[in-house]
Amino acid sequence: MSADIPSVRETGATERARFEAEIVPAGEPVALRGQVSGWPLCALAGDSDEAFCTYLTARANDRPAQLWAGPSGMRGRYGWSAGLSGENFERKMAPLATICELLLRSTREADAPAMFAGAVNLDEHAPDLLPDLAIPLLDSARHRLTSLWIGNPGRTAAHWDLPDNLSCVVRGERHYLLFPPEQVGNLYVGPIDRTLAGQPTSMVDCENPDFERFPRYREALAHAREAVLQPGDALFIPSMWFHQVISTAPLGAQVNFWWRENDAETLSPQSTLLHAFLTLRDLPERERKAWRAFFDHYVFGDPEQAAAHIPEAARSILGPIGSQEQLKLAEQLVSELVGWHNRLLGSRKDG
């Protein structure tokens, strides 16, 4: 860990009541030491990598998962190739048993290729493992996604996730570097409509930053937090916080729980951001200024104040948006986008 970057707040294993009342609402990363130390996977921390993989694969099925693989020289830093024209790794598909076999082989090779399987949905690939991952910290009634991340030494570039995240280390040491969402402008994020794994990632090599190319990254570092986790530890990462993850073990693994405070089926606000590139970004400045006022009033301001002068029965989408209102809005937006799309196609053919 860097002496210049403060550590995230730490606590011992905690109860759900405190987690929901204090930790989540604070919106800051928190390391929960020993939170999942009772898991059987964590009990294998002192055993061999073979024993860990045997336990894992005995509870997995034959459904193929995505495996990233690249040359040893990339040092496990998965990202874009030169000029952002492609990726510096290959995507392959294999069952968890095969992935574990390849990883075990890599631990015995001096110049092993980089390999990493991320966001492996355990409901789909290892449902028999789920009973071993008890997490009373989270409300069992709330929809959540449980996923596995496993690989040899590697690093995931700083990125953000929409859901809240409880990252639980089950094998090897893991280093986290975290930045609040407000640092988005200082992290030099790559393409947002063409990504490596669903979310845009920072183009800065956080271990060896090029400050001449990325000078604003110094400001991001002034707001950064660090955490080092061992098997059995968990890290709460609030929604939208950027995080880089480095795994140093010959074979490392973590289990993630993702959930959203609101309806899990709600459309991602990133869709709104992409839509804004089409409708707002290139408007004249005076029009963008006017729309900023509208968004502040209707979206980011007090919803009750925006609709207080309208009878409740007539507020439509200015009031609570139910399933019928959602459907109506979706149909309207789809109709507008399809019409615009068809006009673009027509003009291209005419040209």
% residues pLDDT > 90 (the chain) = 72
Q: Return the ∠ at Cα 262 (arms to 256 and 263), rounded to 5°.
A: 90
Q: Is 286 in a helix, a strand, or coil?
A: helix
Q: Residue 264: is its pLDDT beyond 60? A: no
Q: Residue 3: its pLDDT value, please? A: 56
- Give the pLDDT mean for 188-193: 90
Q: Residue 323: its pLDDT value, please? A: 82
Q: Give the containing element (helix H, strand E) for 269.
A: helix 269-279
Indicate where the chain has its CATH 2.60.120.10 domain(s).
9-259
Local confidence band at 263 (pLDDT 50, 70, 90 cut-offs)? low
Q: Residue 21: its pLDDT value, please? A: 96
Dihedral, CA of residue 54, residue 51, residue 38 and residue 144, to nearest 10: -30
Q: Residue 2: is its pLDDT beyond 60? A: no
Kindly calculate the radius of gyration of the chain based on its CA atoms and give it in whole angstroms.
23
Concatenating the DSSP letter of every residue in 229-262 gives E-TT-EEEE-TT-EEEEEE-SSSEEEEEEEE-SS
CATH 3.10.530.10 matches 9-259: no
Please state the pTM of the whole predicted model. 0.90
Q: Residue 194: is its pLDDT beyond 90? A: no
For residue 231, which of 101, 40, 21, 20 has the smallest C-alpha distance? 40
Q: Residue 131: is its pLDDT beyond 80? A: yes
- Give the pLDDT mean for 283-291: 95
Local confidence band at 198 (pLDDT 50, 70, 90 cut-offs)? confident
Local confidence band at 347 (pLDDT 50, 70, 90 cut-offs)? confident
- Give the pLDDT mean for 237-246: 96
Bridging pattern class, strands 154-159 and 242-247? antiparallel
Q: Residue 164: is its pLDDT beyond 90? A: yes
Q: Give the containing element (helix H, strand E) for 184.
A: none
- Give the pLDDT mean for 89-118: 95
CB 112 within 8 A of CB 72: yes
